[in-house]
């Protein structure tokens, strides 16, 4: 088994790498990791720092020499020139976990988001289609759009409803491309769709996540607010937050990437009630001067405070479409047969993840 994994330094990609090395070590012949250079850090040093960090599994730290012998770090600049580093070696599993997570709805952001997610994936697939045995695409559970009711694993048989932003639309368009490319090339394809990522629930340290995004940004915003201003937060009381622990998502991906499953949503079978979830988040950062409303607040309606205006001019633009989503749930029958979700209290988990992030200063890992 020879694997090429993109996005290995990302929130999910790093956990996928850890899980691959822990659970498939003896089956894996080699792993290629394309990584960008960052400031003064080389791609090699970034991976070395990540593997030696206190957040890496004990198995990796105890077997560092053997682990490193199975890894080749490749400059991301060479990803589209596989002959430079592959030679005659064939990739059995190409796991494409890299992508741009940008929830902007601004028209001017569309081109960049589609370029990073759709067009880049096209170039990757077309470059490697004669060199790989299988292509695994890591999408998002939200590529289905804003729909209500029970959501199946098959998103591609029917056109989705309205997407909330360019990110969702770009991921869905990429799924369509990947499936069509599979039919034309004969290369098996698998589409895996994690939900919103939260901290560890299985691995240690508990509640750890390498990058704080989405609902963490909501918490960070109010944690750093130092004014006495009040705010009205628009939310749909019938909706919910679907959050999946990152370590669980990674373990599912590693459990299924060599299977014949074509589409799988990696989601929680239950959602955290939206109003109780918001309350838990704000309670964890000690912000109390708010009230929830079903009314949409924007420039046309006016703002009641500077804080409210700032919220709706920044993260509120991106998060409100999710806080006002139609109520839905996902069919997790197949997922639960692959890897049962650990039992835990959703509201306590949400509160503990925010408390962990707060203790870490909402600081992303710099590897």
Instruction: Work out the angle at residue 271's Cα, subtended by the Cα atoms of residues 265 and 277, and round it to the nearest 5 degrees.
Output: 135
Sort residue 33 into left (φ over 0), alpha (ψ -120 to 50) or beta: beta
What pLDDT was estimated at residue 15?
97
- Count of CB atoms situated within 10 Å of the CB of 23: 15
Label residues 245-274 b or e (16+ Cβ within 10 Å = b). Answer: bbbbbbbbbbebbbeebebbbbbbeebbbb
Report residue 197 as tokens.
């990522």
Which long-range contacts link 50-55 to residues 24+ away (Cβ below 8 Å)?
50/8, 50/9, 50/14, 50/365, 50/367, 53/365, 53/367, 54/205, 55/205, 55/208, 55/210, 55/365
What pLDDT was estimated at residue 169?
97
What residue has token string 């944690």?
223
Write out the E strands in 125-205.
135-138, 149-151, 189-194, 196-198
What pLDDT was estimated at residue 226?
85
C-alpha 18, offset from chain centre: 16
What pLDDT was estimated at residue 308?
96
- Count of CB atoms situated within 10 Å of the CB of 316: 21
CA distance 354 to 216: 7
Return the closest-CA partner of residue 99 out of 60, 160, 142. 142
Residues forming beta bridges with residue 6, ordered by sequence position: 96
Query: Do residues 127 and 78 make contact, with C-beta atoms less than 8 angstroms apart?
Result: no
Q: What is the pLDDT along the chain (367 residues), one digit of tens a residue?
A: 999 999 999 999 999 999 999 999 999 999 999 999 988 899 999 999 999 998 999 999 999 999 999 999 999 999 999 999 999 999 999 999 999 999 999 999 999 999 999 999 999 999 999 999 999 999 999 999 999 999 999 999 987 778 999 999 999 999 999 999 999 999 999 999 999 999 999 999 999 999 999 999 999 999 999 889 999 999 999 999 999 999 999 999 999 999 999 999 999 999 999 999 999 999 999 999 999 999 999 989 999 999 999 999 999 999 999 999 999 999 999 999 999 999 999 999 999 999 999 999 999 998 9
Helix (H) or strand (E) holding 357: helix 346-359
Q: Where are the domains of the chain?
A: 2-197+243-266, 201-241+272-327+342-359
Helix (H) or strand (E) holding 276: helix 274-284
Architecture of domain 2-197+243-266: 3-Layer(aba) Sandwich (3.40)
What pLDDT was estimated at residue 305?
96
CA distance 212 to 218: 10
CA distance 29 to 14: 19
Query: Do residues 70 and 5 make contact, with C-beta atoms less than 8 angstroms apart?
Result: no
CA distance 105 to 240: 21
pTM as predicted: 0.96
CA dist list (Å): 319 to 102, 226, 272, 334: 11, 21, 16, 29
């Amino acid at each position: 088994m020879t694997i090429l994994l993109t996005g290995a330094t990302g929130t999910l990609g790093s956990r996928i790498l850890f899980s691959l090395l822990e659970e498939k070590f003896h089956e894996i012949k080699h792993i290629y990791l394309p990584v960008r250079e960052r400031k003064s850090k080389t791609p090699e040093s970034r991976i070395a720092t990540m593997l030696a960090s206190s957040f890496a599994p004990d198995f990796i730290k105890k077997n560092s020499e053997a682990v490193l012998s199975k890894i080749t770090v490749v400059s991301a600049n060479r990803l589209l020139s596989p002959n430079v580093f592959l030679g005659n070696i064939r990739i059995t599993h190409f796991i494409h976990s890299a992508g741009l997570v940008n929830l902007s709805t601004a028209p001017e952001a569309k081109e960049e988001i589609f370029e990073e997610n759709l067009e880049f994936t096209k170039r990757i697939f077309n470059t490697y289609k004669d060199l790989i045995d299988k292509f695994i695409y890591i999408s998002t559970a939200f590529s289905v759009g804003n729909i209500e009711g029970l959501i199946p694993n098959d998103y591609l048989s029917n056109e989705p409803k309205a997407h909330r932003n360019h990110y969702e639309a770009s991921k869905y368009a990429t799924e369509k491309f990947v499936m069509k490319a599979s039919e034309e090339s004969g290369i098996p394809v698998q589409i895996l769709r994690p939900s919103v990522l939260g901290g560890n629930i299985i691995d240690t340290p508990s509640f750890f996540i390498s990058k704080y995004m989405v609902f963490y940004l909501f918490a960070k915003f109010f944690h750093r607010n130092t004014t006495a201003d009040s705010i009205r937060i628009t939310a749909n009381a019938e909706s919910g937050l679907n959050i999946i622990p990152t370590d669980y998502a990674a373990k599912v991906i590693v459990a299924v990437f060599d299977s014949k499953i074509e589409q799988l949503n990696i989601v929680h079978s239950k959602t955290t009630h939206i109003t109780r979830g918001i309350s838990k988040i704000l309670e964890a950062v000690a912000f109390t001067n708010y009230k929830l409303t079903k009314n949409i607040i924007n420039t046309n309606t006016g703002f009641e405070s500077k804080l409210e205006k700032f919220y709706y001019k920044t993260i509120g633009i991106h998060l409100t479409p999710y806080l006002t989503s139609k109520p839905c749930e996902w069919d997790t029958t197949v997922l639960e047969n692959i890897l049962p979700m650990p039992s835990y209290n959703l509201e306590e988990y949400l509160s503990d993840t925010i408390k962990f992030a707060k203790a870490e200063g909402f600081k992303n890992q710099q590897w």
